[in-house]
Structures are given as structure tokens and as C-alpha cells.
Amino acid sequence: METPRFSVVVPVYNELESLRELHGEILAVLGSERFEILYLNDGSTDGSDAILDELAQDPRVRAIHFVRNLGKSSAYMAAFERCKGDIVVTLDADLQDDPHEIPAMVARLEQGFQLVIGWKQGRFENEPLKAFPSKFFNGLLAFLFGLRLHDSNCGFRVMRRAVADSLELHGDLYRFIPQLAAAKGFKVTEQGVKHRKRRFGYSKYGAKRFWTGLLDVLTARFITRYVGRPLHFFGTVGLIPTLVGLGIETYVLASKLAGQTFQEHVAAIIVGAMLIIVGFQCIITGLIGEMLSAQRRERIAIRGE
């Protein structure tokens, strides 16, 4: 088969009713182009696997089946390792992303960007309960990473192959693909896209995603800024309790020299000592991280000889 220009990546988890219609829409949009479609069956249990195997009779289509549900990050990594197109398109399988928006996103990409992420228009009319969490997280991400996007977690993306090759995703880091790409120096922008109301199935994400999302933000921030210098992060975190603890202990000592007894400040002594211990533990954690990071760099240097 001729080398494709487009690689369309579609993670699938229990979306049986949507697959044929979505496939038809993708073919209608890219039918005149050189393309491939990679469906990542993320452990579906509703019969989606049979539909995907049927669609994969087309030589331009590949169905990759996971033995169990591993999450979108694993699905994306499996696809990115196999895709061949210069332009990689990702979209969800639930029909909420409209493939007819792909040409406009590609046109935006060709204006000098390496990644274009969708900005879902009308989303909050379709999903009103997601309005506050979405605005909160997008605002938090803009503050922490300096990349201002209206819908950072949109699964509808168009990117250059180099961006896909650079990503190392695990856990829920797929939610921060724009931030990870921008941290590597790629130019990222957004494009308004039509958002359709879900017609089949149900959302796979619950309320706990709000809390786990906060933890994921910390992970992404650490990876993009401190992964090569962990002591800067843990040292900064440990500095505050260490200084506060030393300040408390200095106050107790000064009070003792002024004629007071230690018995009058037992609670302060204990609190100060605990803060110092916590601070030193953070600093030691950073030092251990530096040792592990140095070993990794050394291995890379050896392999490059």
C-alpha cells in the first residue's frame, strides 16, 4: 500500500453503535486522500471487536485489540508506534467529534503549527455539568504551563508525525498532550470544531475524575519542568517546612536563654522538629531523584557511542 499522508487514530471502548457510522464519515472526508485508520480496541466487552475486525477487511484499516482496558494513553502509544502518516489525526469513537472538521484543522496546521487541538463549540449546551470543571482545569493549566487553550482535553487533534513520535504517555497524561508538546518546543494552537451530542452509550468518566485530574496536573507539571532536575522541585518543596521548623526551634532556644523553661514550649519543639524532618526528607528525595536521573543520562550516552 502507498505510504499514507494521514493516520487517523481512534481509541474505542464499548462504542458498538457508533463505529460503522463514524467509519463512513471518515471515509467520506478522506476518501480521495492517502490515509490509514487505526482503531484501538481498549478491552471492549460489547462486541466492538467484531465490528472492528469487519472494518479491517479494508487494507487501509487496522484494528488493534487490547486484552483488557488499559486507558487512552496506552491506546495512543500503541497507535503512534505503528502509524505511518505525516499527519496524525486523533478523535473519539462516540460520534461527538465530527470528521468533517478535519480539513479545516489541517489547513490550520499548515499555517506553521505542529499541533492543532479542537475547541468544541456548543459543548456546554450538550454537557452542562462539565462546564465548571472544564473551565477550572483549563484555567489552571493556562496558569501552570502558560499555554492558553479553551479545551485542552479535547480528543480531536491534528498533529505532525514528529509530535506523535515525541510523546511518552502513561496513566492519564493523554489529557496533557498540548502541554507536553509545547514543552518540547512544538507550536500548538486551537481550532473551533463542531461538538455533537452523544447519541449512543454513555460517558466513561465519573466525578472522581476531578480529583484524579488535579493529581495528573501535578504529574504533568513535574514531567515538563523538573524531570531532569528533581532536586529543584523537591528542594523547593522541602525548603519551606525546613525554614519554618528552624525558625520555631530558634524561637524556643531564644526563650530558653531568656529564662523560660523548655516545658513551656513542648508543643513548639515537637512541631519544629517534625517540620525539619519533613523538609529534609523532601530534599533527600530530590537527591535520590538526581542520582536516578544521572544514571539514565549515563546509559543514554553509552548507547549513543
Does residue 1 belong to any structural domain of this protein? no
Q: Please check whether residues 149 and 234 belong to one and the same domain.
A: no
Q: Please check whether residues 167 and 96 belong to one and the same domain.
A: yes
- Which CATH number goes with the domain that contains 175? 3.90.550.10
pLDDT cut 70: percent of the chain above it? 87
Q: Which domain holds residue 15?
A: 6-225
At residue 153 the predicted structure's pLDDT band, cuts being 50, 70 and 90, is confident
Using one digit for the tens of pLDDT, what is the confidence trace for 85-115? 999 999 999 999 999 999 999 999 999 999 9
Global pTM reads 0.76
Of 104, 110, 89, 114, give the one whose Cα is nearest residue 38: 89
Determine which of 11-15, 62-66, 70-74, 216-220 has the lowest per-residue pLDDT on average: 216-220
Q: Please check whether residues 138 and 246 belong to one and the same domain.
A: no
Does residue 78 belong to any structural domain of this protein? yes
Using one digit for the tens of pLDDT, what is the confidence trace for 256-271? 888 777 777 788 888 9
Q: Could you say which of 190, 210, 225 is where a domain stops?
A: 225
Cβ atoms of residues 96 and 197 within 8 Å: yes
Of 291, 153, 183, give the one whose Cα is nearest residue 231: 291
Determine which of 13-17, 56-60, 200-204, 285-289 has the lowest per-residue pLDDT on average: 200-204
Q: Please check whether residues 220 and 287 belong to one and the same domain.
A: no
Average pLDDT over residues 282-293: 78
Does residue 89 belong to any structural domain of this protein? yes
At residue 301 the predicted structure's pLDDT band, cuts being 50, 70 and 90, is very low
Using one digit for the tens of pLDDT, what is the confidence trace for 31-58? 889 999 999 999 999 999 999 999 999 9
Q: Please check whether residues 19 and 164 belong to one and the same domain.
A: yes
Cβ atoms of residues 215 and 143 within 8 Å: no
Q: Please check whether residues 280 and 171 belong to one and the same domain.
A: no
Q: Could you say which of 178, 193, 225 is where a domain stops?
A: 225
- Residues near 159 by Cβ (< 8 Å), separated by ≥ 6? 87, 88, 90, 109, 114, 115, 116, 181
Q: What's the domain count of the chain?
A: 2
What is the spatial distance between Cα 177 and Cα 154, in angstroms, rounded to a whole number?
10
